Amino acid sequence: MNNLKFHTVKLLRLSAYLILILPLFVYSQSTDDSWESLDLTKEAVKLYRDNRLSEAMKKLKEAIKLDKENFAAEYWVAKIHYKKGEYQKSLDIMEKIMKGSHKEDVMYQLLGNSYYQMGQKEKAMEIYKQGLSDFPYSGAIHNELGKADSDNGNTAGAFRNYEYGIRFDPEYSDNYYSASRLLLNEGNHWGIIYGEIYLNMEPYTEEWKEMSRLMYDTYKKEFTGTESTTDPVSLLVSDTGKTTFDAAYLAALEPALKNRTSEAFSLYILNDIRKKFIENWQESGSDSKFPNALFTFQKRMLDEGYFELYNYYMFSEGADDEYSDYYNKHTTNIKSFKKWWRKNYLTMTNKNSIYRTLYR
Please indicate, yes or no, if residue 299 is contained in any of the structural domains: yes
Mean pLDDT of the chain: 88
* Whether residue 204 sits in one domain with residue 343: yes
Contacts of 4 (CB under 8 A, 6+ apart): 203, 204, 338, 341, 342
Query: 104: phi > 0 → left, psi -120 to 50 → alpha, else beta; which?
Result: beta
Q: Are 192 and 80 members of one domain?
A: no
- pLDDT at res. 58: 97
Last residue of a domain, one of 49, 84, 119: 84
Does some domain include residue 46?
Answer: yes
Q: What is the pLDDT of residues 148-175, one digit of tens each?
A: 999 999 999 999 999 999 999 999 999 9
- In Å, how far from its chain's centre is CA 53? 22
In a domain, 277, yes or no: yes
The range of the structural domain enclosing residue 70 comes to: 10-84
Instruction: Tell me whether residue 303 is in a domain.
Output: yes
> Are residues 78 and 207 located together in one domain of the fold?
no
- Decide if 279 is inside a domain: yes
Answer whether residue 209 is part of any domain: yes
Both 216 and 329 in one domain: the answer is yes
Q: What is the pLDDT of residues 61-108, one digit of tens each?
A: 999 999 888 888 999 999 999 999 999 999 999 999 999 888 889 999
Indicate the residue among 24, 49, 84 that finishes a domain. Answer: 84
The torsion angles phi and psi of 68, rounded to 5 degrees, stand at -70, -10
Asked if the structure places residue 289 within a domain, the reply is: yes
Q: Taking a C-beta distance cutoff of 8 angstroms, is the pair 129, 116 a contact?
A: no
Domain count, the chain: 2
Q: Considering the domain boundaries, does residue 4 fall inside one?
A: no
Q: Give the Cα separation of 218 and 185 in Å (integer).
A: 8
- pLDDT over 60 at 319, yes or no: yes
Rounded to whole angstroms, the Cα distance separating 333 from 337 reads 6
Express each pLDDT in 244-302 by its tens digit.
999 999 999 999 988 665 678 999 999 999 999 999 999 999 999 999 999 999 999 99
Exposed/middle/buried for residue 238 (C-beta within 10 Å: 0-12, 13-18, 19+): exposed
Q: Among 84, 119, 145, where does a domain finish? A: 84
Give the H/E segment covering residue 280.
Answer: helix 267-283
